[in-house]
Amino acid sequence: MYVSMREMLAKANQENYAVLAINCFNLETAKAVIEAAEEMHAPIIVDLLEEHLKMHLDYRYLTKPIIRMANNAKVDVAINLDHGQEVAYVKQCLQEGFSSVMMDASMYPLEENIRITKEMVQFAQQFNASVEAEVGDLGVVNGNQWTNQEMYTDPDEAIQFIQATGVDCLALSYGSTHGDYPEGYVPEFRFDIVEKIKKATQLPLVLHGGSGAGEENIRKSVALGINKINVGSDFMKAQLAEIQHCLAKDPLMGYPDVIHATISAGKEVVKKYIEIAGSKNKAL
């Protein structure tokens, strides 16, 4: 069933688990994510990153087929625009049928972030769509632009932001970084940031950069009130590894067979994270 994040995150908030949001960029990756969720009987969010949509396949060609997949699924599925930064583009995605969007104006001063996000919340209401936002900023492993202490979310600013905008969920920066961490590296999390914001607002909170964040970090985050976890790098890394494995075994393997193998590999990663996040068997 195709839904917005609002309903599924409200349930996750009430029952203290997190819903996985997996970065997809084509129909095959969306198929892997939805099938994994069905096998785990878990709600799921298909995250479509604005940058990916502009670089690979436009939302006008992806949205409707994935909505059809969602409507035919045995579990609740949301489509969320991840890190939407251009206001006009975010609005176009809502008009195209996205059930949820992230209006990421975190690069602006707090008051401007509030203004932009509040306007998007109001715009999304006509589509009955949910809105995610971000206070604080996450770096990226690529280019060694890691998240540092100055980029962490200020809890007082986050509380003010939530109260002023009416967002459905808020992404926090408290130790994770976007991208693929070096092997064996596990980030340190500032759990006090999550605790303070959750206690003051009871809003569904979001962890970005979930790949490689560490099982213990994720489980504790969920226990403290994280209700949505974004995973992209580990999902894609597993599929790339499967391609390498297939071609090493059979350099002449047919392209459709290689792609089919990547779907299976991607599903295993999604299922693992669903288990850690506690959303297994939480589908309605």
- The set of catalytic residues is 82
**Distance from C-alpha of 2 to C-alpha of 14, rounded to nearest angstrom:** 21
**Distance from C-alpha of 73 to C-alpha of 173, rounded to nearest angstrom:** 32
**Distance from C-alpha of 244 to C-alpha of 270, rounded to nearest angstrom:** 20
Q: Which residues of 217-226 are buried (b: 16+ CB within 10 A; e: fewer)?
A: bbeebbebbb
**Distance from C-alpha of 216 to C-alpha of 166, rounded to nearest angstrom:** 31
Whose CA is closest to 162, among 124, 132, 185? 132
Helix (H, G, I), strand (E, B) or coil at 43: coil
Task: Give every CB contact of residue 164 below 8 A, 6+ residues apart in sequence.
Answer: 114, 118
